[in-house]
Chain A
């Protein structure tokens, strides 16, 4: 799982001299069986890939965060009822039916993990990056979150409390980072450009105004 992210090494018994990998062959076999038996509509597969490659991604979450930075009423609702607040922007549903927003403050920093599998708020962040699903992240975040943050180049003050949320149920978390200084009067659209995916998982911080220049 850790030594090879892109493919599995082992070649299949069916692999008579072809250069298809074991996983290409096994996936194709399952696809053929499911399609020919009528369990799957091939157009639905294309639609699923298209939606998660192009339509649902961290720009959704960035919109939520930017709104929370400028709109006190929305911010209040977001921390009281994340599902309702995020739903009011049109996001929710699969891996986002039950959403909780976590507020970073000068004294508390939130980080999200799923130690048991790969639970992640698809509805606001899209599909998770490989590192989120990897053994190093799942193993270490609950025991050594500061060490994990260092892997991301993030060093927080020693007295900042680190609050780790292990997604063991169908609740999905969105971290709301602190608004960077020097952004007074910015529009939501411009603020959203500062909001990185990692800052909404808690492994990063938002960009600073100088990073946009």
Chain B
């Protein structure tokens, strides 16, 4: 979707401001926001792509005005409502008003380290051979789906070169909509900076993205 999250190439945000000796978290509520999201994310109620879709669905004015973990909290609240974990009345009350429909299976403290060490691989067996090979010239599609996609606006309708076949990976466009993992071949595609930003762009810059096969057409 063309939401506020898709920021590549936007102007006017000012300089990047590194913070010397930055702590991992800046406030206790950020620790909670982080840990709650990771823990509930591992409970199998929703998947990461669905979470990202909900986060980028926050209206642009709100998205741009929230702090980073503020966005996590707002997204978590929206996901709890969307997936029936809480009711609007419970959110307003700040406490449960009825027990959960089925007994949850929370991630326990002794499972955390193993869960992190395993992560969640996104590669899957390939249903068909890869259409492209390294060195192929491809054009990204110029699509503007209102649902989740990982093809940034700045890289749509552009000609690039396949520089890596990553593997066959879960397709976020489908997975985020809860219609299955729908695995597709994933490639790293590299563009000349001038292809993306015009003739006046710095000729020494190249930009690469990961692109699933449905994002690409042969040249």
Q: CB within 8 Å of B: which residues of A?
A: 1-8, 14, 21, 23-34, 36-41, 43-49, 51-53, 56-57, 92-98, 100, 115-118, 123, 126-127, 129-131, 133-146, 148, 151-152, 158-171, 198, 203
Of A2, A170, A171, most buried by chain B (CB within 10 Å of CB) is A170
Point out the residues of chain B lying under 8 angstroms from A169, CB to CB.
122, 150, 166, 169, 172, 186, 210, 212
For the complex with contacts A27-B36, A169-B150, 20 further pairs of A-B residues with Cβ separation under 8 Å are: A1-B66, A7-B70, A8-B70, A29-B93, A29-B94, A30-B91, A34-B85, A41-B106, A44-B108, A46-B35, A48-B38, A94-B117, A97-B119, A98-B167, A115-B7, A123-B119, A139-B9, A165-B207, A169-B212, A171-B210
Inter-chain contact B152/A136, CB cutoff 8 Å: no
Residue in A closest to B201 when the chains form the complex, CB atoms: A143
Point out the residues of chain A lying under 8 angstroms from B76, CB to CB.
30
Partner of B8, one of A115, A162, A171: A115
Partner of A98, one of B150, B155, B166: B166
Partner of B208, one of A25, A30, A165: A165
Of B24, B100, B212, most buried by chain A (CB within 10 Å of CB) is B24
In the assembled complex, the Cα of A53 lies from the Cα of B63 at a distance in Å of 26
Point out the residues of chain A lying under 8 angstroms from B33, CB to CB.
23, 27
In the assembled complex, the Cα of A173 lies from the Cα of B27 at a distance in Å of 28
Point out the residues of chain B lying under 8 angstroms from A51, CB to CB.
112-113, 116
Residue in A closest to B28 when the chains form the complex, CB atoms: A24
Can you list 28 A-B pairs, Cβ within 8 angstroms, ordered by A?
Answer: A2-B13, A5-B67, A6-B27, A7-B26, A26-B74, A30-B36, A33-B90, A34-B85, A44-B111, A46-B35, A53-B25, A92-B117, A93-B118, A95-B119, A116-B5, A127-B34, A129-B19, A133-B68, A135-B13, A146-B205, A152-B18, A158-B204, A159-B204, A166-B207, A166-B210, A169-B169, A170-B170, A171-B188
In the assembled complex, the Cα of A162 lies from the Cα of B27 at a distance in Å of 36
B contacts with A, residue count (CB < 8 A): 103
Inter-chain contact A94/B115, CB cutoff 8 Å: yes
In the assembled complex, the Cα of A165 lies from the Cα of B95 at a distance in Å of 43
Partner of A41, one of B10, B39, B122, B123: B39
Report B174 CB to chain A, min CB distance, Å: 14
Residue in A closest to B211 when the chains form the complex, CB atoms: A168
Residue in B closest to A146 when the chains form the complex, CB atoms: B202
In the assembled complex, the Cα of A123 lies from the Cα of B118 at a distance in Å of 11
Q: Is the interface of B mostly helix, strand, loop or mixed?
A: mixed
Partner of B113, one of A23, A47, A160, A170: A47
Report A142 CB to chain B, min CB distance, Å: 5
Residue in B closest to A10 when the chains form the complex, CB atoms: B65
Point out the residues of chain B lying under 8 angstroms from A37, CB to CB.
85-86, 96, 99-100, 104
Point out the residues of chain B lying under 8 angstroms from A148, CB to CB.
16
Inter-chain contact B119/A135, CB cutoff 8 Å: no
Partner of A116, one of B6, B31, B40: B6
